[in-house]
């Protein structure tokens, strides 16, 4: 009998208890292959160290709206990915668990790129950034189309004039003169961030820190929006009859797109026979370095109502380590929030070298927001741009409409959350 008792005691010691059970954490991710494969690689490394914790990815076709609906219904997973402009509301409503016991805001300021902590203006963080290249850093180019035109893909464009020159050489028309392949496409949800950066390039301000209002009816804003209009109607390197920037690049109906760099990772999985790379965007003022802005970086957060918060935070603490960050970077090429990893030799590798020209620009990246209802502000801007390009609205009318809607959305947000401070923009 004593031998049985001793054996049972040994089992208890070795297994952590007869009744101890492994925990399963649910993680919602956008159904975007580079994100999913990156997360799974991190999870595999984590579970090797923590076999008693299982992390299960659940892909969502419409992640942002699914999370909002889940929060409203009180039914959310333990963890989910979210973009920077959703952090304010989800933290303010108590949906996100505070993460100050994992990392402090001061440590973020000391070791991470500014966006990591500027997107969450609280006394402690509520999200951790994941590898994500800034959305407005450049254009994605189809390398094969450049070769076909006898052109070498430049690392960056020196001016908007040079961009137009390349786009004209890359465009193709049919016998009737109709554009069947654009030289450059720009109609995409992230385009407003390019516009804001270009307004700042010209020395303009799209938001007044004193009045805390958007100011988009300015000569600088008009000049920028006019340029994108002219790509269609003056330079004829794009057309409203062609698809949006993402679809056109994927279907081969444009040679370049103002588009987020993750497209390169997506294309390696979904378009393996095609080669794409990144070209750093041109400055709007020739001879000056372009400005870069961002607000829609991807993050990971935890539910404040999770019944497994100890295990959740153990996973998040691992996710923040340099090892885990680089595991994710190699599957979803971008930039870790940890500044030290910008020196990692992976950026000299065949898979990472397309991002190397951007590394020196990371310290100059600005935080354009958060304004609160950034998603509808951006959506309205994209709608206005589409109307201007289709000639159903003039450039002046478009900027007036964008300014009106942006201020309306921001006012509605801060009326709902009066304790939150409106942003101060550093130009």
Q: What pLDDT score was predicted for residue 340?
A: 96
Q: What pLDDT score was predicted for residue 9?
A: 45
Residue 5 has pLDDT above 80, yes or no: no
- C-alpha 54/C-alpha 149 separation (Å) is 51
Q: What pLDDT score was predicted for residue 233?
A: 96
pLDDT classification of 137: cutoffs 50, 70, 90: confident
Q: What is the pLDDT of residues 325-334, one digit of tens each?
A: 999 999 999 9
Q: What pLDDT score was predicted for residue 115?
A: 87
Q: What is the mean pLDDT of residues 144-160?
A: 97
**In this structure, is the dihedral angle defined by the CA atoms of residues 197, 203, 204 and 209, taken in order, positive or negative?**
positive
Phi, then psi, of 30 in degrees rounded to 5 = -60, 145
Radius of gyration of the chain (CA): 24
Q: What is the pLDDT of residues 182-230, one digit of tens each?
A: 999 998 877 888 999 999 999 999 999 999 999 999 999 999 999 999 9
Q: What is the pLDDT of residues 166-181, one digit of tens each?
A: 999 999 999 999 999 9
Residue 7 has pLDDT above 70, yes or no: no
pLDDT classification of 126: cutoffs 50, 70, 90: very high
Helix or strand run (H / E) with residue 365: strand 365-367
Helix or strand run (H / E) with residue 375: helix 374-389
pLDDT classification of 308: cutoffs 50, 70, 90: very high
Tokens at 17, concatenated: 């208890």
Q: What pLDDT score was predicted for residue 19?
A: 46
Residue 13 has pLDDT above 50, yes or no: no
Residue 6 has pLDDT above 80, yes or no: no
Q: What is the mean pLDDT of residues 350-363?
A: 88
- C-alpha 331/C-alpha 20 separation (Å) is 34
Please give the angle made by the CA atoms of 294, 348 and 265, to the nearest 5 degrees: 50
Residue 1 has pLDDT above 50, yes or no: no
Cis peptide before 319 (omega within 30 of 0): no
Which residues does 300 contact at the CB level (< 8 Å), separation at least 6?
27, 79, 80, 81, 82, 127, 128, 130, 316, 319
131, 325 Cβ separation under 8 angstroms: yes
Residue 3 has pLDDT above 80, yes or no: no
Q: What pLDDT score was predicted for residue 17?
A: 44
Task: Assign 91 to helix, strand or coil.
Answer: helix
Residue 274 has pLDDT above 50, yes or no: yes
Residue 11 has pLDDT above 60, yes or no: no
In order of their start, the domains of the chain are 2-129+296-363 (3.40.190.10), 138-294+369-416 (3.40.190.10)
Burial of 285 (0-12, 13-18, 19+ CB in 10 A): middle
Span of 58-67, 134-143, 309-318, 340-349 with lowest mean pLDDT: 134-143
Q: What is the mean pLDDT of residues 356-361?
A: 86
Place of tokens 């076709």: 61
Task: Report which of residues 265 and 404 the model is more confident about.
Answer: 404
Would you put residue 145 in left (φ > 0), alpha (ψ -120 to 50) or beta?
A: alpha
Question: Which DSSP letter does residue 333 get?
Answer: -
pLDDT classification of 261: cutoffs 50, 70, 90: confident
Tokens at 16, concatenated: 């952590």
Closest CA to 51 of 81, 15, 80, 18: 15
What pTM did the predictor assign? Answer: 0.88
163, 184 Cβ separation under 8 angstroms: yes
Tokens at 115, concatenated: 């966006």
Q: What is the pLDDT of residues 37-79, one digit of tens each?
A: 999 999 999 999 999 999 999 999 999 999 999 999 999 999 9
Place of tokens 């076909």: 148
Q: What pLDDT score was predicted for residue 10?
A: 44
């Amino acid at each position: 009998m004593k031998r049985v008792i001793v054996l049972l005691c040994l089992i208890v010691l070795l297994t952590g208890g007869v009744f101890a059970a492994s925990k399963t954490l649910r993680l919602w991710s956008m159904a975007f292959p580079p994100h999913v494969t990156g997360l799974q690689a991190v999870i595999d490394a984590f579970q090797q160290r923590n076999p008693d914790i299982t992390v299960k990815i659940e892909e969502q076709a419409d992640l942002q709206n699914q999370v909002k609906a889940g929060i409203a219904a009180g039914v959310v997973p333990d963890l989910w990915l979210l973009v920077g402009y959703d952090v304010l509301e989800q933290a303010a409503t108590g949906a996100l668990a505070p993460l100050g016991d994992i990392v402090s805001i001061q440590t973020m300021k000391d070791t991470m790129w500014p966006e990591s902590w500027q997107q969450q203006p609280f006394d402690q963080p509520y999200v951790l950034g994941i590898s994500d290249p800034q959305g407005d850093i450049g254009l994605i180019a189809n390398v094969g189309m450049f070769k076909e035109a006898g052109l070498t893909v430049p690392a960056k464009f020196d001016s908007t004039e040079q961009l137009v020159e390349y786009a004209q050489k890359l465009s193709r028309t049919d016998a009737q003169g109709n554009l069947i392949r654009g030289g450059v496409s720009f109609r995409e949800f992230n385009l407003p961030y390019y516009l804001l950066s270009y307004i700042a390039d010209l020395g303009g301000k799209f938001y007044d820190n004193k009045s805390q209002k958007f100011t988009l009816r300015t000569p600088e804003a008009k000049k920028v929006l006019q340029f994108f209009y002219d790509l269609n109607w003056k330079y004829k390197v794009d057309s409203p009859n062609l698809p949006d920037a993402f679809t056109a690049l994927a279907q081969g109906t444009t040679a370049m797109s103002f588009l987020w760099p993750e497209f390169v990772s997506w294309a390696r999985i979904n378009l393996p026979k095609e080669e794409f790379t990144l070209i750093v965007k041109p400055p709007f003022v020739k001879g000056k370095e372009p400005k870069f802005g961002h607000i829609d970086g991807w993050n990971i957060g935890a539910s404040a109502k999770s019944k497994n918060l100890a295990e959740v935070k153990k996973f998040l603490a691992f996710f923040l380590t340099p090892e885990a960050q680089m595991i994710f970077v190699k599957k979803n090429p971008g930039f870790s929030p940890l500044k030290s990893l910008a020196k990692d030799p992976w950026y000299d590798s065949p898979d990472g070298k397309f991002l190397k020209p951007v590394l020196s620009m990371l310290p100059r990246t600005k935080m354009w927001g958060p304004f609160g209802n950034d998603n509808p502000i951006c959506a309205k801007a994209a709608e206005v741009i589409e109307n201007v390009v289709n000639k159903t609205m003039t450039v002046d009318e478009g900027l007036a409409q964008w300014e009106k809607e942006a201020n309306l959305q921001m006012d509605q947000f801060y009326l709902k959350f009066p304790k939150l401070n409106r942003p101060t923009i550093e130009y």
